[in-house]
Structures are given as C-alpha cells and as structure tokens.
Amino acid sequence: METKTPNRGSASGAVLNKERKALRRILIVCLATFGCLTLLMSGCMRLEPSKEELATIRAERREMAHRARRIIFNNDGCDAFYFPGAQKVTPENLLAIRTAPFLGSQVDTLAYCTISSGFGFFTHNTKAGNILDREPAQWLTNEPYAKDKINATRPLIAQGTDTLKVMVDFCHTNNIEIFWSMRMNDTHDYSHTPEAPFILFSPIKQQHPEYLMGTYQNRPKHGYWSAVDYTHPEIRERAFRFIEEVCQNYDVDGVELDFFRHLHYFKTVSLGGKATAEELEMMTDLMRRIRRMTEKEGVRRGRPILVSVRVPDSVGYCREMGFDIERWLSEGLVDLLVGSGYFQLNPWEYLVALGHRYDVPVYPSLDESRVVGEAKTFRRQSQESYRARAMRAWQAGVDGIYSFNEYGAGSPYLREIGDPKTLRGKNKTYFATVRNGKPGSWLAGGEQFRQIPVLTPADPQVLAPNTPVKIEMLIGDDVASAEKEGLKPEVRCCLWVKGLDRAERLEVNFNGTPLSNGCLSNDWATFPVSLSGVCPGTNLVTIALRPGDRADVTKPGWDEIYEGKALPAAPWHLAVAEGSVGAVTNGQLRLADCGSAKGEMAYVTANWRVAPGDQTIVEARAKVISSKGPNGVAISVANGAYGALIGLYPDRVQIGETTNLSWAMDTTSAFHVYRVVMQNMDLKVYVDGQLHIEGKSQARPEKTNQMWFGSGSSTAQGESLWDFVRYTSDTKRLSDAVVSIRYGP
C-alpha cells in the first residue's frame, strides 16, 4: 500500500501539527525543568534564601538600622508633580527644588514619596500601580498653586529615568541614605465628585468603589470616605505589590510605610468602632509578607532593605486603629520607628522606651505646625521653635530627628537640629503644644490616649481665681549646667491672656516657685524664671487669676476682634448654607440668609467660654440691609447658663420677642455700633455709646457658651454688613504658654 503524506490543509494534517506542537512544548518544559534543577543543585539558583543567607542579611540589616542618622528628611514628591512650567524638565532642575539644597546640612537620609496619593497613583515608572501623569494646571484650574505648573513624571520617563531613580542616584552619589516612602492610605482626594473629579482620585478607586470607606454623599464618622478598606484582600495584595515592585526595580536602602498619612484602614474603625482581632492579624500578616519579601530581595542583591513605619505614638491608639505595633516590633518586622504626626499623644520618652525595648531606633516626626490664630510674638514655625522641639526630643533619648512636610530643604534649622551639640547655647522657644490635631477625628474615643496637655489659641483654657490651670512644659535645655560652663541663659515664662489689663492679675508658679516682676505687652504676661528652678524634662507651671482682683470691663481690652476685611478664621467660624452668602464686600463681611428651609442660615460663631457671673461685652459695628421675620439679623449671647438674642430689625433694636425691651431707630441707613453687656440674666444694650435698653433678668436658660452674629434662624431671612465684631469678659482665657530661653541676641 502506498503511504501518502498528509496534506497540511487537511483535517488529519492539522491534528498531526497540533500533536507535534504539543510534544515540542512538553520537551521544552522538561528541558527547562532539568536545567533549573541542575542550577538549584549547583547552588546557583534558590527560590528562597537559605538559613545562612538569612542570618547574614539580618545581621547586616541590624547594623544598617543602627547607623547614625541625624535627620531623616521627608519629601512628599510635590517637587515633580508641581514642577515649574518655565523650567526645562531635567534631573538637575528637579533636584534643585527640594533635594540639593540640603547638601551640607545634617540630613543623612531622604525619605522620598512618589506621591502615592489616591492609593495606586505614583510618579515613578510603575506597572503594579498607575503612573500619575495628569497635569495640575488642567485639573486644578481654580487653584493658584497649580498655575504655571507641569507634571515632570512623563518627561523624565521619556528621558530613560524617573523621579525615584533620580533621587536614588543623587543620594548614593552624595553618600545619603534613601528610603522610598509610601503613604499607605492617602486621601487628599476626599473632595472628589463625579461632577468635579479630583486630580488624585486614582483609577483603582474609580473602578472599584466597593473598596472605599463610603461615598461623597455617605461619609463615615471618622476619617475620609475616599480611603481604601484594608479588609479587602485585593487592597492588601495591591499594597504589597506596590512595595515589592520598588524593592525589585530600585536600589533603595529601605522602604517607609507611612501609616499616619492618613489614619483610616478599616471600615470598622471609620464607622466608630475598634479594629477587630481579625483585622489586626490582616495588617500584621501584610507586614510579615513585606518583611519576607525585603529579606529575599536583600539576599538577591546582596544588601539589606530596611523597613520603617510612621505611626501614632501610642500602642493602645495603634491597636484600636488596626496596627499591632508592639507585635510588629517583637516579631522583628520593623527596623526604624517614626512616631507622631498630626498630633502627639505622649512625651517622647514613651516612644523611645517602646522602640528600644525591641532594639529598634526611634525618630520623632517633627511635622509643620497647623495651629491657627497664634500671635506674632512667638511662632511655632520659627527657627527657635524647631530648635526647642529637637532639643527636647534629644533629651528624651531619641536616635535622630525626622522632618516632615518641610518644603524648604535649605531651611537653617536643618543644619542644627540633628545634633544636641549644635543646639547647645542657641536661643529656643518651648511651646506647651506645637501640634493640636484631634485624635478623635480618626478614632472614636481617641482623645483618651493623649497624655500631654493641649494649649493653643484654638484650644484655650479658662482662668479663674483659686482654680489654677496646670501646664507641663517639656524642656530639653539644662540651663543650670550651661551657666556653670560660662553661658548666660535667660529664662522667661510667657503667657498669652487676651484682654489682660496687668500682669499682676496672674498668680504664676514655676515648679512650685512663685513668679513675680511680670510685665505686660500685647497681651503677653512675661515673668523671669530663676535658672535653678528650671530642669530638663517636665516643668510644672500653674496659672490662676488672683482672688478678688477683677478687671475693669467698662474700658475693655478686647479678648477677640474680628474685622470684616477678611473671612472669619479661628476662633471665629463662618457657617453659610447653600444658597446663602458669606463674603467680603468693600472691607465688610456680607451675610445674607436667602432661604427659609431648615438649615438655611448665614452667621459667624465663636466659642468664648465665659462664666455666667462675669460681665461680658460684645460690640459690633454693623448695618442692616434687610430683615424678614424674628431675628433675621441678630447678635446672640450665651454664658453657659443663660442666653439672649438681640434682634436688629430695620426699624428697631430688640431683646428677644419682648417689644417693650426695644429701641426705635433706623438700622439700615448707616453703620451703628451696638454694644451688648451681659451678666447672669441681666442685659444692657448700647447704641453708638448710649444706653437704650436695660433688661433685668431677661435672659433665658441656655446651656451653650458662645456668641454669634448674622442670621441664625432657618425660618427668617436677613442681609447685613459687619465692619467689626469684638468681645471681652472678666473671664480670661490662657491662649498660649511659652518658655523662652535666650543665650544672646
């Protein structure tokens, strides 16, 4: 029989071709497997590091973790994202913005964040995430800071490099350590809406809204709705892959996991609960995976990869948030511990003891202050303040200083705060509180973990006779020793009490020693302090008003003054409903309540914390444009026990609803000065300096302790102009406390 060769186009030929291809694939797989086994047996290839390799890399890692770092400088990556449009995109120009200027300073380590905002958006060349190549000027058309800015991400990639590679090369050339910093749940995109998309709202969130804590309309109680929920395995997997990719592709010395920016990881917590045991284990398991991966990659490249974490400075707070930080430390999952951020919960000794218990170096995060309303006399962002913060941290035993959100890489303090020796003998300003973020805004009951005082202009404390306010001032200088060494420090305790008429009204003790010879200037009462009475560490200052010594409020020095030239700022708060108006017009604040639906109002409020028995004065220069209904334009006063509304109608001024407590006048043709004096239930109303209404026992029971002006009634409507509003009371508030140490001019 004749054997025929199958036609390649026939069915039988096709089957034969498939069989041949299958046999070929099997042969290739067998050869590859044999080759891999041969390499594995010869020691040239291992899927996992050997015990000997792990022991070596761990010993090297410990040595590397304990190297001296004076300052770790965090750069949030805005230098690339908001690159000056007038400049050519080059590595040199990128470095000149926020990196090269710290050469010659005490910065030993750069923690560079490639934005990592919106979860998954990066300015380095990534495949695990999404490259952030959106242009600020196109997306942020109403933001002045985005004008004339371009995104340097794509141009650098087109040049064969990227932001992270530029930083790695620069640092290694200049013998500077570099960490890649990932913000584990950044939510700068919380303002995103479908109608107004935000530039940092990432494709991951767009495609998977089920991963988020909520929606723009349905927001959680704590944190922001646009945060990702780490209970989803997909989120934890993505976070791991982001970090793994950097460790495999970039020659970084370490990775920084920034959990503080921002503090929301589990929906359980965002809805008002505490992280469960299962959720704690989820995050710990992620940390274990990251540690195993960094060890494997470290063995592969022959050099360790460190793991740094930035977390709140409280084990209890961290646990309820979802971070079993003490377990991370005990299992050796962390090499550097960075603590604090928006708020500080404990003295630095707490964090030092925690880290050193597990042989982990500790770095306090000295973030920029966001305290509003502070006086020009002493500033938290000053060189003297940063010196004091750093000196106090060194005195507590930290291993170095961490600088966060400092845009000026050439700032002078970066040449001083990395060594207590360079700080010695330099002027310093110690504040009772530098950052006053709210732990409870991220975690229900979070305030319970704060073990240090909070005193700022936005968080004042009421002063009263026989009830002293106690403030712990944490000081790093040893002034007594400095004096013995020939230095001549001068120490002053400075207290900001608005409306104080003389320093002698205050009774002040410093570590139990009464202070005297005080002077008053611009509401600051300043007292000299003996050097022998100041100690490094905790110093207790008590402040009270002297008994029986009342202020003369008939000639008031005002506690707070609002001028209509600008929109209200702390302690004033502007509340304007949609459809109503709160705007500055020709140097006056215009408030217009244009609706009568529930919640439609336009007013300004201030929490003044006055005492019912004290005399309190509110004075306003205002003009009524229109007023419809009861209290369409009004001034409200409440002292914690009683309150009253003083209505400014077009044809009269009136206390409450009682027409016999009114004064007929035209409030619309010109500005007038209205003064309201309140004590317990008694009220007096002056117009342009003349007493026109006096109401004995006319105030009504009221538990709130605040004043407001404008239109605070949903049913009424009113429009008015306000030139200024100010108030004072015999109740005085301590708005700030400072210990100033000066060694010279």
Q: What is the average per-residue pLDDT within 475-498?
A: 95
Residue 656 has pLDDT above 70, yes or no: yes
Residue 712 has pLDDT above 90, yes or no: no
499 pLDDT tier (thresholds 50, 70, 90): confident
- Long-range contacts from 444-448, C-beta under 8 angstroms, 24+ separation: 444/221, 444/222, 444/269, 444/272, 444/273, 444/274, 445/320, 446/317, 446/320
| Of 28-37, 294-303, 367-376, 539-548, minimum mean pLDDT range | 28-37
**Is 477 strand, coil or helix?**
coil
553 pLDDT tier (thresholds 50, 70, 90): low
Residue 514 has pLDDT above 50, yes or no: yes
8 pLDDT tier (thresholds 50, 70, 90): very low
Residue 83 has pLDDT above 90, yes or no: yes
Q: What is the average per-residue pLDDT within 413-438?
A: 97
Q: Domains of the chain, with CATH numbers?
A: 53-427 (3.20.20.70), 460-551+732-742 (2.60.120), 560-729 (2.60.120.200)
Residue linked to tokens 């439609």: 600
pLDDT of 96-125, one tens digit each? Answer: 999 999 999 999 999 999 999 899 999 999
Q: Could you give the percent of the chain with pLDDT greater than 70?
A: 93
Concatenated DSSP letters of 272-294: T----HHHHHHHHHHHHHHHHHH
In this prediction, residue 30 carries a pLDDT of 45
554 pLDDT tier (thresholds 50, 70, 90): low
Which residue did the predictor score with more confidence, 500 or 269?
269
In this prediction, residue 549 carries a pLDDT of 61
5 pLDDT tier (thresholds 50, 70, 90): very low
What is the SS3 string spanning 613-645? CCCEEEEEEEEEEEEECCCCCEEEEECCCEEEE
Q: What is the mean pLDDT of the chain?
A: 92
Residue 446 has pLDDT above 90, yes or no: yes
Residue 38 has pLDDT above 80, yes or no: no
In this prediction, residue 598 carries a pLDDT of 78
547 pLDDT tier (thresholds 50, 70, 90): confident
**Is 553 strand, coil or helix?**
coil
Residue 35 has pLDDT above 80, yes or no: no
Residue 489 has pLDDT above 50, yes or no: yes
Which residue did the predictor score with more confidence, 674 or 4?
674
In this prediction, residue 403 carries a pLDDT of 98
CA distance 324 to 281: 8
| Burial annotation 441-479 (CB, 10 A radius, 16+ → b, else e) | ebbbebeebbebbbbbbbbbbbbbeeebbebbbbbbbbb
pLDDT of 291-346, one tens digit each? Answer: 999 999 999 999 999 999 999 999 999 999 999 999 999 999 999 999 999 999 99
pLDDT of 238-251, one tens digit each? Answer: 999 999 999 999 99
550 pLDDT tier (thresholds 50, 70, 90): low
CA distance 538 to 701: 42
| Of 26-40, 393-407, 422-436, 481-495, minimum mean pLDDT range | 26-40
Chain centre distance of CA 478: 31
Q: What is the average per-residue pLDDT within 143-150?
A: 93
| Helical pair 51-65 and 277-301, crossing angle rounded to 10 deg | 100
Return the amino acid letter for 99.
T
Residue (of 637, 604, 602) closest to 716 by Cα position: 602
Which residue did the predictor score with more confidence, 506 or 714?
506
Q: What is the average per-residue pLDDT within 131-152?
A: 95
In this prediction, residue 31 carries a pLDDT of 39
In this prediction, residue 713 carries a pLDDT of 83
195 pLDDT tier (thresholds 50, 70, 90): very high
Residue 6 has pLDDT above 70, yes or no: no
CA distance 249 to 227: 27
Residue 22 has pLDDT above 70, yes or no: no
CA distance 379 to 444: 31
